Amino acid sequence: MKARQTMRVTIMSKTLGGLLLLLAASCSLAADWSLADLMQQLGQKKAGTATFVEKKYIAMLKQPLESSGELAFTAPDRLEKRTLKPKPEAVVLEGNKLTLERSDGRKMSVNLADRPEVSAFVESVRATLSGDRSALERYYSAALSGGSEQWQLNLTPLQPRMQKVISQIRIGGGHAQVRTIEFLQADGDRSEMTITSTSTK
């Protein structure tokens, strides 16, 4: 009887030990996934298109404002966001030029060199998509959590002017695919964007 109990305890101990080793190995793999690894993977993508759904939560509104449309990125510096619903609108970022195109045909362009706070805002997305760590860390303190299959990049603005607008930006994804972008504004409002890839190169 005692021999059987001893055998059961031994088997349970070995099983538990195996599970602990497996858990330790998983944690070690997650720990090995670094910001440098993420930036390297993202930097290998030269172009991509996606659809998006964005929800903006504003304190004075009971329901979030929802919009949807298409995204296109061409490395290293072209990013295009075309809103299709509720009304057509396009934002095109190319180099240091940001252009807003409205449905009535009006256009407005901004030189990012003249607007550092706008530059910081757009670089949170563009620098992440292009895997440009130096550009990202020029404006943000970056903290990465999770593993390669599911990661989250938390960006905290370094510039005081930017801190008055955005408290944090959270970008989530898996491997070289960005799936979510969340902007937390300093005034408490926030926006969430869910991204579904349609093609990559």
DSSP letter for each residue of 32-46? H--HHHHHHHHHT--
Q: Which CATH number belongs to the domain containing residue 71 in this structure?
A: 2.50.20.10
- pLDDT for the residue numbered 141: 97
Is 128 domain-assigned? Answer: yes
Percent of the chain residues past pLDDT 90, beyond the cut: 69
Domain region containing 120:
35-197
- pLDDT for the residue numbered 88: 95
Helix (H) or strand (E) holding 28: helix 2-32
Over range 61-81, report the average pLDDT. 95
Please state the domain count of the chain.
1
**Using an 8 Å Cβ cutoff, are 132 and 139 in contact?**
no
Over range 165-183, report the average pLDDT. 96
The average confidence (pLDDT) of the chain is 85
Is 143 domain-assigned? Answer: yes
Helix (H) or strand (E) holding 152: strand 151-157
Over range 150-166, report the average pLDDT. 94
- pLDDT for the residue numbered 146: 94
Is 16 domain-assigned? Answer: no
User: Is the dihedral angle over the CA atoms 187, 71, 120, 152 positive or is it negative?
Assistant: positive
Over range 29-40, report the average pLDDT. 78
Over range 68-73, report the average pLDDT. 96
Over range 195-201, report the average pLDDT. 88
20: pLDDT strictly greater than 70 = no
CA dist., res. 199 & res. 28, Å (int): 32
Is 175 domain-assigned? Answer: yes
- pLDDT for the residue numbered 199: 84
Is 19 domain-assigned? Answer: no
CA dist., res. 117 & res. 119, Å (int): 5
55: pLDDT strictly greater than 80 = yes
